[in-house]
Amino acid sequence: MQFNNFNSADFLRDHWQKKPLLIRNPWKKWHNPLSPDELAGLACEDHVESRLITQTSDDWNAEQGPLPETRFGELDKSPWTLLVQAVDQHVPDVATLIEPFRFIPNWRIDDVMVSYASDAGGVGPHFDHYDVFLVQGLGQRRWQVGGMCNDQTPLRSHDDLLLLADFEIVDEWVLNPGDMLYIPPGIAHNGVAVGTDCMTYSIGCRSPSRKELIGSWCDDLLPHMTDDDRYCDPDLAAQSNPGEISANAIDRLHAMVTEKLADRDEFARWFGQFSSTPRYPETDWRPEEPIEIGHLRELLTAGHPLLRNPASRFSFIRESDDRLLLFVDGDCFPCEGERIALAELLCAQNQIVVDADRIKSDGAVSLLAELYNRGGLSFDWG
């Protein structure tokens, strides 16, 4: 999939995290990469996250997957919506939808959620804390957008869905196959299927909260701290009131905490691992048989391209001109010399043909072998 009529620089300047944007069919040639039956099949799998939203009158009910195959035959004429998360990890053609959005950093892109809705089906007015690109795959959907929301915005009482108590429509459009709507974080929106066979692909972006960053960073720091690293005040002087916690004591206590949190290099390494952790880290993508370096060299010499696992997350942090840290699926791989350019290539492309010089390099091939044996690379994800 490639864009034909979309200026990413203009988009980032004028719309990214600022205001919604409707883009009429920006693709060179749009084709729907997944059939409704294939999506329903995924929703029946144990290892796939899915939900079925059914509507009765003005109420919504949510069922968590996996769904029994017979469930779809039991649905009546009431509107319903099937949502399947991270479909890009299971269907290579859906994974290609992400590639045109690589003007956004890898670590900010989450996954592709796919929805199928019957006539008038939807999930109700809501807002998200992240950016999302809504691509119409099949049929039509009417999208309505409202104002800015936050955690204080009133919600309807519902155990499973975060539905807005009030939704005032500011603008609306009907999207046809290939059309795309960008929604910034916090903007209220509501999508309703117009007719049957309505499929929508949601390319979502990750946006960690301050709460999540601080909590996870501290959780990582704590195991490395010792009980004998304690407060001390060898210059303690008598004070007029023993009940006072002095400014000097507060300064020392505060420094004990902030000195650890302020270590930028340690934070960078932690964040690279944190942000590259797979959405479903419990899934084992390792090959049945580890590949030997000699065999890997033979395959690379024959011109076989290596493919990144669609479920893997690749990114890097440059420490200096002659060293960078490659992060793949929550692990850190320090890279120097010939490994630097290879790491940059792995992060920039989802398919690489390794050139002759890199094939001869023991450092480069050993890195590729390690990533292959961990499940981050393969010669075939189809």
Q: Tokens for 346, please give them.
A: 């792995």
**Gap between the Cα atoms of 350 and 92, Å rounded:** 11
Q: What is the pLDDT of residues 237-287, one digit of tens each?
A: 999 999 999 999 999 999 999 999 999 999 999 999 999 999 999 999 999
Q: What is the pLDDT of residues 44-93, one digit of tens each?
A: 999 999 999 999 877 889 999 999 999 998 998 899 999 999 999 999 99
Pairing of strands 21-23, 132-148: unpaired
Report the predicted TM-score, pTM, of the whole model to 2 decimal places. Answer: 0.92
Q: Tokens for 148, please give them.
A: 């800015």
Say whether pLDDT at 358 is over 60.
yes
**Gap between the Cα atoms of 330 and 328, Å rounded:** 6
Domains of the chain with CATH codes: 8-205 (2.60.120.650), 293-378 (3.40.366.30)
b/e for 235-265, b at 16 or more Cβ within 10 A? Answer: eeeeeeeeeeeeeeeeeeeeeeeeebeeeee
Strand partners, 60: 55
**Gap between the Cα atoms of 149 and 129, Å rounded:** 9
Task: Please calculate the CA angle 188-98-271 and round it to the nearest 5 degrees.
Answer: 80
Q: What is the pLDDT of residues 302-320, one digit of tens each?
A: 999 999 999 999 999 999 9
For residue 2, what pLDDT is reported? 86
CA-based nearest residue to 314, from 287, 342, 289: 342
For residue 163, what pLDDT is reported? 93
CB–CB of 291/373 below 8 Å?
yes
Mean pLDDT to the nearest integer, 172-184: 98
What is the average pLDDT score of the chain? 94
pLDDT level of residue 381 (50, 70, 90 thresholds): low
For residue 382, what pLDDT is reported? 57
Mean pLDDT to the nearest integer, 289-295: 94
Helices (H) and strands (E) in the chain, counts: 10, 15
User: Looking at the chain, how many residues does it have?
Assistant: 382
Q: Tokens for 250, please give them.
A: 């507060």
CB–CB of 328/312 below 8 Å?
yes
Q: What is the pLDDT of residues 6-51, one digit of tens each?
A: 999 999 999 999 999 999 999 989 999 999 999 999 999 999 999 9
**Gap between the Cα atoms of 256 and 261, Å rounded:** 9
Q: What is the pLDDT of residues 82-126, one digit of tens each?
A: 999 999 999 999 999 999 999 999 999 999 999 999 999 999 999
For residue 264, what pLDDT is reported? 94
Say whether pLDDT at 349 is over 60.
yes
Mean pLDDT to the nearest integer, 296-301: 94
Please report, for residues 61, 67, 117, 197, the alpha-carbon distance to residue 200 in angstroms, rounded to integers and kept in the order given: 20, 20, 9, 10
How big is the chain by its Cα radius of gyration, in Å? Answer: 25
Amino acid, res. 298: E
CA-based nearest residue to 49, from 94, 109, 127, 112: 112
Strand partners, 59: 56
Please report, for residues 89, 217, 255, the alpha-carbon distance to residue 230 in angstroms, rounded to integers and kept in the order given: 46, 20, 12
